[in-house]
Structure 1
Amino acid sequence: MTTNCIIFDIGGVLEITPETGWVQRWEERLELPPGTVNERMRDVWRAGSVGSISEAEVYKQVAARLGLGMSRVETFMDDLWAEYLGMPNQELIDYVRGLRGSCRLGILSNSFVGAREREAALYRFDELVEQVVYSHETGIEKPDLRAFEAACAGLEVRPESCLFIDDVAANIEAARAAGMQAHLFEDNDRAIKRIMATWAPGPCLQAMPRSDDRGEVAGRTDCHSPTSCEYAPSPRGPRAHAHCQAGASHHHRVAATSAGVPLPWAGVVAYRARSPSADRRLPSAAARRR
């Protein structure tokens, strides 16, 4: 089955977040038994993941429940966000950037209040894809089927035409139950091969505004008809095609292949995987990202 839409998870897929041990360090610093921080904060972490508490209230609850002054609360939360945000899975992000304009792209993430602003500032996910769906904004977490339905509805795509990529098996099963195609993320190489194996060139799309400019793709993507094509794919989305005249948008034919598998367009190459660390969650707030 082919797909013209791809939706990605963030934690463990687009972000690599190895455990930093910050909770254990705080428990040692405060002379608390292991597990105390998460036990005291459990309902706050839960509320933050579905947006039923403000970020300011999270800070107040940390102060009250752990007996911290506001300066130490700031440090505590900085440690939380450092592990939550981790580092970018740059290979995969670059590959996704190359897909823009050729298919619908979205993100569906179990999150925590404050995540959108921080991830937009650090990784610009809001510019990478057309739609970012966060659980703290919708109030619905994966693997609830409504989360997947909302992601597809927002992109105006049928579930069966959409590939969902996540690193949690329960979310993959739920996505399939919602009618989507799904791939359990293990490393970049397997994920990219799955995308290449199921990707179907869609109609030319209007380019999304971009602040970066990587230039045109090397090589030429031929069109079905050089007299009826308006756009051709590039890393920044559709561009005016030198070999075409302005006219009605239509499907582009892919000219390049790799090992017999069509690439999204000429010039895209397979990325060698750099496997993210396996289970890179905060043992507290970010655990909700599963």
Structure 2
Amino acid sequence: MPTERNIILFDLFGVVARHQRPGALDKMAARCRASTPAFTTAYWACRPPYDAGRQSPPEYWTAVLRRLALPADADTIEELRLTDIDSWSRVDDRMVAYVRSLRGVAEVALLSNIPPDHADAFLAAQPWLHELDHVAFSGRINVAKPAPAAFQHSVDAMRAAPTDFLFVDDRAENVSAAQGVGMDGHLFTDRDELASAIGTWLRRNDPGM
């Protein structure tokens, strides 16, 4: 049964945080003396088990380097790891302020695809995350969006019903997956459009607002 709670569940990258820093993949490719297209293909092809916490950082970077037929020495792996973490470290301060402001009218949670070591660095650098009602990182819960289990984790952890949630993401496949488990979904484009959509959603759930 629905608990009639209002829970706004945010994606992180592309919504509250910036996408990968421009030029980061070129920088990592140059460190490996590989072409950017070849490096980018290997980087993303090997990513799913790392995002889901099923590979350690050395295992992930070894897989990337082997796909490029390159040696996987410890110094190279650590340099790539730190460069990668830094490349995903930027937030949109305006969106952070908006997300924090919503806690006055709803419960606010976060569900992000992010490897465990990235999650540790992000939590250390962004103390506002500790203010949220729930934070789930794929590398820690061992499942990544758009798998239904990723969304179900937040439902179970918050002792809620799927219908209590509005999920916000910039990727249509993730929004569709959330809707598939019974959540409302919103495809993010910008803050002002999102604020209007959230206002409508809250009024629909609480006509007395």
Tell me the TM-score normalised to structure 1 length: 0.61
Provide closer, same or farther for how the CA distance between residues 187 and 31 of structure 1 changes in structure 2, counting only shifts above 3 A.
same
Gaps of 5+ in 2: none
Provide closer, same or farther for how the CA distance between residues 133 and 58 of structure 1 changes in structure 2, counting only shifts above 3 A.
same
Provide closer, same or farther for how the CA distance between residues 110 and 127 of structure 1 changes in structure 2, counting only shifts above 3 A.
same
Aligned to 2:34: 32
Q: Work out which of the residue numbers 17, 20, 45 in structure 1 matches 2:22.
A: 20
Aligned to 1:7: 9
Q: Work out which of the residue numbers 158, 165, 169 in structure 2 matches 1:166.
A: 169
CA deviation after TM superposition for structure 1 residue 14, in Å: 1.1
CA deviation after TM superposition for structure 1 residue 161, in Å: 1.9
| SS of equivalent to 2:88 | helix
Code of the residue aligned with 1:4 in structure 2: it is N
Aligned to 2:124: 121
Which structure shows the bigger proportion of residues in helix conformation? 2
Provide closer, same or farther for how the CA distance between residues 27 and 57 of structure 1 changes in structure 2, counting only shifts above 3 A.
closer
Q: Work out which of the residue numbers 181, 184, 199 in structure 2 matches 1:181.
A: 184
CA deviation after TM superposition for structure 1 residue 12, in Å: 0.6
* Equivalent-residue separation in structure 1 for 2:118 and 2:42 (angstroms): 22
Q: Is the 8 A contact 1:92 1:188 kept in 2?
A: yes
Aligned length: 204
Aligned to 1:83: 87
Aligned to 1:210: none
* Equivalent-residue separation in structure 2 for 1:18 and 1:30 (angstroms): 19
Provide closer, same or farther for how the CA distance between residues 197 and 60 of structure 1 changes in structure 2, counting only shifts above 3 A.
same
* Equivalent-residue separation in structure 1 for 2:161 and 2:201 (angstroms): 15
Code of the residue aligned with 2:29 in structure 1: it is E
Bigger mean CA offset, 171-180 vs 12-21 = 12-21
Overall identity of the aligned pairs, in %: 23
Code of the residue aligned with 2:16 in structure 1: it is L
User: Over aligned residue pairs, what C-alpha RMSD do you find?
Assistant: 3.0
* Equivalent-residue separation in structure 1 for 2:10 and 2:70 (angstroms): 35
Between structure 1 and structure 2, the one with the greater Rg is 1
CA deviation after TM superposition for structure 1 residue 15, in Å: 0.2
CA deviation after TM superposition for structure 1 residue 165, in Å: 0.5
Tell me the TM-score normalised to structure 2 length: 0.82
Q: Work out which of the residue numbers 135, 139, 142 in structure 1 matches 2:142.
A: 139
Aligned to 1:73: 77
